[in-house]
Amino acid sequence: MNTKVITGLLVLFLWATPAIAGYKDLVLIEALDKITGRVFKLEVSIGSEVQFGRLRIKPRKCFQSPPEEPPESIAFLEISETRENEEAIKLFSGWMFSSSPGLSTLEHSVYDLIVLECYSPSSTDPVPSVTIESLPPVLLTE
């Protein structure tokens, strides 16, 4: 079977079955500003919206695989770009996979986004152990 067909069937299954225990309330996204070289971690609630630079990121669904399966976080994101005195332009609407960021990605000249993890804050499902702070910009030498 074709990889795109398998991916499509997986996405259809995940979208159509909201009662699966693997659905989570928060998505952790790594965001890169290519101009400054700064990397940020964005924690976004499902159904809310966050602004990163000129991007508006709206996660709609987020699925985390069970512990007995290979680690995978899958998030459905809607991403648009805002510009001054203009309407927002939709850039991306689809599923992003943490294990294969290149499979379905945002194509943008300034920003890169990668889904890191889906989780729900509770005593049984702890917050991921990731540093949520910006890194210093990369200095280029000649």
pLDDT of residue 116: 92
pLDDT tens by residue, 26-58: 999 999 899 988 999 999 999 999 989 889 999
Distance CA 130, CA 3 (A): 31
- The number of CA neighbours under 13 Å toward the Cβ of 124 is 4
In a domain, 130, yes or no: no
- Number of other residues whose CB lies within 10 A of the CB of residue 63: 24
pLDDT in tens, 70-82: 888 999 999 999 8
Q: Does residue 11 form part of some domain?
A: no
Give 126's pLDDT tier (boundaries 50, 70, 90).
Answer: low
Question: How many domains does the chain fold into?
Answer: 1
Q: Which domain holds residue 90?
A: 20-119
The answer to whether the CB of 57 falls within 8 A of the CB of 49 is: yes
> What percent of the chain is modeled with pLDDT above 70?
70
Residue 50 within a domain: yes
Instruction: Give dist(CA 9, CA 141) in Å, integer.
Output: 47
